[in-house]
Structure 1
Amino acid sequence: MDLMKTMRISSAGMQVQSERLRVVAENLANADSTATEAGGEPYRRRTVTFAEGLDRELGLPTVRISRFGTDQSAFGREYDPGHPAADENGYVLMPNVNPVVEMVDMREAQRGYEANLSVIETTRMMLQKAIDLLR
């Protein structure tokens, strides 16, 4: 396989993992974001879905983000009758963000990013060696 194509594929992998890390950071930042008025919904966890893409310029299969979604799981409830978003029974809907799940997703995205970066670094070294041999 052409080494430049290898770098292009890994670059696409780094881009989607970077976007995934951004979404995880957004979820963690909003883990305690409740509604501001009674009856409103709190922050809903965002998700990222990957799909196979095609780099038309080189005719390469790559990875891309097919869509950003929202997690439709149930919200948590906490008793806090003084909160502005409390219902008539004093319960406040809490975001459906689980910090443990987000940390696992973050670690997985980080490792995917690092793996693609390692491929790019190795490919660059191979290209440099080839250039050195041609001198």
Structure 2
Amino acid sequence: MSMLNVFHVAGSALNAQSLRLNTTASNLANADSITSSNGQPYKAKQVVFAATPMAGPGAQGVRVTQVVESAAPMRMTYDPKSPAANAEGYVALPNVNVVEEMTNMISASRAYQTNAEVMGTAKSLMEKTLAIGQ
């Protein structure tokens, strides 16, 4: 794999992890929202990744294929005085699990940082290679 392919692969990972971080931030920001823009409780979103061929032979990057809503059930809390309560007095809250989202954010942040370091190391190696040729 050429050094330029390293930049393509790491760059694709940076883009994917950036979207993952933004999605996680959106989930955390809406963790206690009773309604979203469509009038229903907010549904947690998850990013789906897939391998994608890159410029060189054997080089595989990553891309986001879609952002899907979580299939987890909504959290139900009893609050009969709420205007959003159903006939039994329960209010449907977002299906965002804050602990899982924080874990996801730490994982995405570390993956982003690692790929940024890969790009930095590749740049340093290219500079040293060029210095040898001078």
Output aligned runs, 1:3-82, within 5 Å.
Answer: 3-35=3-35, 41-55=40-54, 57-58=55-56, 60-82=59-81
Q: Tell me the distance in 2 between the aligned counterparts of 1:5 and 1:47.
A: 28
Q: Tell me the distance in 1 between the aligned counterparts of 2:34 and 2:45.
A: 15
Q: Tell me the distance in 2 between the aligned counterparts of 1:19 and 1:83.
A: 34
Output aligned runs, 1:75-94, within 5 Å.
Answer: 75-94=74-93
Q: Secondary structure at the match of 2:96?
A: coil
Cα offset, 1:35, TM superposition = 2.9
Cα offset, 1:77, TM superposition = 0.8
Give a deviation string over 1:34-68, Cα, whole Å, max 9, x none.
138xxx6310000101001123x545421101111
Q: Tell me the distance in 1 between the aligned counterparts of 2:131 and 2:74.
A: 59
Aligned-residue identity in percent: 34
Give a deviation string over 1:66-88, Cα, whole Å, max 9, x none.
11101111111111122111012
Q: TM-score, normalised by structure 1?
A: 0.91
Q: TM-score, normalised by structure 2?
A: 0.91
* Matched AA of 1:129: K
* Matched AA of 1:115: T
* Matched AA of 2:6: T
4+ residue runs of structure 1 moved beyond 6 angstroms?
none
Q: Tell me the distance in 2 between the aligned counterparts of 1:107 and 1:125.
A: 27
* Matched AA of 2:47: V
Cα offset, 1:117, TM superposition = 0.6
Between the two proteins, the alignment pairs up a number of residues equal to 131
